[in-house]
Amino acid sequence: MSAAVPQIALVPGGVSLSAIVAGVWRMGEWRQDVPARVRWIEQVLELGITSFDHADIYGNYAVESLFGEALMAAPGLRERLQIVTKCGIKLVSDARPTHAIKSYDSSRAHVTASVEASLRALRTDRLDLLLIHRPDLLMDPDELAATFDALQQAGKVRAFGVSNHAPSQLAMLHRRHALVTHQVELSPLQLQALSDGTLDQCTDLGLRPMIWSPLGGGRLFTGRDTPTRRVRAVLEELGRKHGVSAAAMAYAWILRLPAQPLPITGSGRIDALREAVSALDVQLSAEDWYRIWQASTGHEVA
């Protein structure tokens, strides 16, 4: 296993994940049979990436099962990796016939049932990290914290966090049960987490955030709008300077932040994951970081 990707404790003494996390949201689109899925996981591990990001809803509630089939086919894999998954979004789906409308649910009954379903689908006896996927406007923080306590005591979930929450929502839950991460969207094209207090809060609380869509959902390399063109040009220029790809520079821009985020990849291509790993060796100066920020915003700092 590569030593290039360190294991990072999300909080001191807590659950550790690899500094780059492999996202499997699109695994259902990769059209892999079970042996191909096993080989893909093995190749990711060979890069030093040991953490895999799931959600119960991915692939219309199918991706966890696809991953679980691979773990069942190669039982030794489970002890070499960490599983992150999310719950709390209820989609209208044939896979969940009791869901009448799309909604959010952080009730004890739903979270507990979601964990049990994820454990079955993933063919495992525990989750390394469970996140509440979206903020439920009806969340009872005391009930949810008690649910976390029960799942942790039962050994079914090692640690908990949230995803896409406002700082006030995270704080309300964190006061009742210690969270370890906040998974949020951030890229050179999506800067909101830099200005709305989300990453400041993570730094203040000592939580290591996880970053989804670090390449703007691919828009960094396909978008034709002016801000995207500006950002892409700067990433390409800096990539040539550092001897890495423009994608690696986008990851390096995220890794430069004081909150010390863990970016989540979104591709099934091993070369794309290798690009993310290469960003760990990039020493990005503050001025170059701001060059990328300026290309995105279209103006200098005030």
Among all residues, which ones are annotated catalytic?
A: 58
Q: How far is CA 53 from CA 17, 44, 116, in A?
A: 10, 13, 17
> Are the C-beta atoms of 148 and 96 separated by less than 8 Å?
no
Residues 6 or more apart whose Cβ sits within 8 Å of residue 7: 16, 17, 18, 19, 50
Residues 6+ apart with CB under 8 A from 98: none
CA-to-CA separations, 46 to 17, 95, 273, in angstroms, rounded: 15, 34, 11
- Kindly list the distances between the CA atom of residue 227 and the CA atoms of 164, 188, 220, in Å, as whole numbers in the listed order: 24, 10, 10
Type of residue at 26: R
At residue 32, what are phi and psi to the nearest 5 degrees? -100, 140
User: Do the beta carbons of residue 117 and residue 109 sit within 8 Å?
Assistant: no
Residue owning tokens 């995220």? 254
